Amino acid sequence: MANGAPPPSFPSRKGEGGAEPLLSVKNLRVSFPTHRGRVEVVKGISFSVGKERLGIVGESGSGKSMTGRSILKLIRKPGLVTADRMEFDGIDLLSQSEKQMRSIRGARISMVMQDPKFSLNPVMTVGEQIGEALVTHTRLPRREVNERIWAMLDSVRIDDPKRVAGLYPHEVSGGMGQRVMIAMMLIPEPELLIADEPTSALDVSVQAQVLDIIDDLVTTKGMGLILISHDLGLVSRYCDRILVMNSGVVVEECAAGELENASHPYTRGLLAAMPTINEQRDELPVLDRTQWAGT
Residues that bind other proteins (CB under 8 A): 2-5, 7, 59-60, 174, 203-208, 230-234, 236-237, 259-260, 268-279, 281-287, 289, 295
Residue whose CB is less far from other proteins, 93 or 242: 242
Residue whose CB is less far from other proteins, 30 or 104: 30
In this structure, what is the dihedral angle of CA atoms 51, 220, 178, 189, given to the nearest 10 degrees? 70
Alpha-carbon distance of 3 to 199, in angstroms, equals 18
Residue whose CB is less far from other proteins, 70 or 267: 267
Residue whose CB is less far from other proteins, 34 or 95: 34
Q: Fill in the DSSP letter of residue 94.
A: G
| DSSP-assigned beta bridge partners for residue 196 | 228
CB 31 within 8 A of CB 40: yes
Residue whose CB is less far from other proteins, 192 or 270: 270
Q: Is 128 buried (19+), middle (13-18) or exposed (0-12) by CB count in 10 A?
A: middle
For 253-272, what is the HEC assignment?
EEEHHHHHHCCCHHHHHHHH
Q: For the sheet containing 53-57, what is the strand order? A: 109-112, 192-196, 224-229, 53-57, 241-246, 249-255
Least CB distance to other proteins at residue 174 (A): 8
Cα Rg, the chain, nearest whole Å: 20
Least CB distance to other proteins at residue 271 (A): 4
Alpha-carbon distance of 64 to 14, in angstroms, equals 22
Least CB distance to other proteins at residue 192 (A): 24
Least CB distance to other proteins at residue 236 (A): 6
Amino acid in the structure at residue 68: G
Least CB distance to other proteins at residue 72 (A): 25
Residue whose CB is less far from other proteins, 23 or 57: 57
Least CB distance to other proteins at residue 101 (A): 28
Least CB distance to other proteins at residue 235 (A): 10
Non-local (6+) Cβ contacts of 33 within 8 A are 39, 78
DSSP string across 205-238:
HHHHHHHHHHHHHHHHHT-EEEEEES-HHHHHHH
Residue whose CB is less far from other proteins, 151 or 272: 272
Residue whose CB is less far from other proteins, 66 or 184: 66
Please report which helix (H) or strand (E) contains residue 152, including its range. helix 142-155
Least CB distance to other proteins at residue 120 (A): 19
